[in-house]
Amino acid sequence: MNTTVSRLGTFDRPTRLFIVLGGFFVCNALIAEFIGVKIFALERTIGLNPFNWTLFQQSGSLSFTAGVLLWPIVFVMTDIINEYYGQRGVRFLSYLTACLIIYAFAFAYLAILLVPAPWWISIQSENGVPDMQAAFQAIFGQGMWIIAGSLIAFLVGQIIDVTLFQLIRRITGQRYLWLRATGSTLVSQFIDSFVVLYIAFVLGPQHWSTDLFLAVGTVNYFYKGMVAILLTPVIYLVHKWIDHYLDSHVAK
């Protein structure tokens, strides 16, 4: 009996770990969706003068949505979950996340439709926000084309990531964690970067030109790719911690 209880306690750790990793995965994706409405200047944020890049006959500074702070972490989490729980685990969390994002935006739109209290509308006027209702709607009322593009790009990127990750793993075995993790992320991030822009801004009402679409997509992918490479050591650290937490035999 004691042996059975001990084994149950040992094999319960993978369940707890999946809940923690899954919760962190979903939380990051949800936050990235909502903060993505803000566009920030990378050069000025880190105290540099604008680079004024020129690409595909387009020029500008390095401006990104705030969501790029978290999406690379989501894709790293994808690789970690894929390493220990396989494609079924990642796909389950991906579909769950997509459903929860839709659920969250549905209630955001419902909150926008609520009639604001008169005193609340001007409560932040002294801080430069004369109309809180308009500000709330601008922040949480993202366009349907942007939401659709983001969701489709997320799901397509996830499917490509988990498939390529497992393909590289079958070829190389347990070796080259960096190759299957970073390699699959670089490919999936490439697809993600261009799909979301194409749906949201080319097919959407803004009708971006091809040159603008390619320029912005390339700059965004370059940033995401750099972050993915820089996060590779983090994957090894998390991998080592999980092996220790689960015990190497259970981890395998």
Question: 156-175: per-residue pLDDT in tens?
Answer: 988 998 999 889 988 888 78
Give the mean pLDDT of 144-151: 86
Look at residues 105, 68, 13 and name the one whose alpha carbon lies nearest to residue 222: 68
- Give the integer Cα–Cα distance in Å for 162 and 86: 8
- Give the integer Cα–Cα distance in Å for 87 and 82: 6
Q: What is the pLDDT of residue 8?
A: 47
Q: Are 89 and 242 in contact (CB under 8 A)?
A: no
Q: Are 195 and 82 in contact (CB under 8 A)?
A: no
State residue 53 phi and psi, 5-degree precision: -65, 155
The pTM of this model reads 0.83
| pLDDT more than 90, % of the chain | 26
- Give the integer Cα–Cα distance in Å for 250 and 213: 46
Q: Is the pLDDT of residue 3 over 60?
A: no
Q: Is the pLDDT of residue 108 over 80?
A: yes
Give the mean pLDDT of 78-92: 90
Q: What is the pLDDT of residue 53?
A: 76
Lowest mean pLDDT among 55-64, 100-109, 211-220: 55-64
Q: What is the pLDDT of residue 176?
A: 84
